[in-house]
Amino acid sequence: MLVIAMIGMVVCVFCQVLFRYVLKLPLFWTEEAARFLMVFAVYIGCSMGIRRDSHLGFTFLRDHCSEPVQLLMKTVANIGIFALNVYIVYYGMNVVLRNTYQISPALQMPMWIIYAILPFAGFLACLQVIEKIIDDFADHKKKTEKGGAAA
């Protein structure tokens, strides 16, 4: 989905530049479409960032703690991320429901479709966080079993 959104955004911007500067016939809808695709890409990218553990983080303190404390710190952080995403899902649904009759100016598209990315991406991020917590505990269990068997 992220790749499709990025390709769509590049195509929209390219068409806008081509039509505006080469053909002298600017398209009225490409800017809005590119903006909506950018928002979609950002929210889906956040979920992918959680999955790949690639968000910015300060791990200096955590890296100098024991394994059980590291697991605790990761779990507390992931619970906080989960809570934030539950908040995004809840209030994103409110935004979707409040904008059921609003139409976008250029695309004439119902805005609830655009705003639906909030609860959708929040839900995906919640799933990613749950998977991350399970993986952290599984990795910790493997390390302790390996360490216990070797000792």
What is the pLDDT, as a whole number, of residue 118?
Answer: 95
Q: What is the pLDDT of residues 98-146, one digit of tens each?
A: 999 999 999 999 999 999 999 999 999 999 999 999 999 999 999 888 7
User: Which residues 6+ apart lie within 8 Å of 57 measured at CB?
Assistant: 77
**Based on the structure, what is the number of domains in the chain?**
1
pTM of the model: 0.83
Lowest mean pLDDT among 60-69, 85-94, 109-118: 60-69
- Nearest residue to 40 via CA among 15, 7, 13: 7
What is the pLDDT, as a whole number, of residue 150?
Answer: 47
Range of the domain at 93: 2-150
C-alpha span between 74 and 121 (Å, rounded): 22
- Tell me the HSE value of 58 on the side-chain side, using a 13 A CA sphere: 1
Q: What average pLDDT score do residues 29-33 get?
A: 94
Axis crossing angle, helix 2-17 with helix 30-52, rounded to the nearest 10 = 150
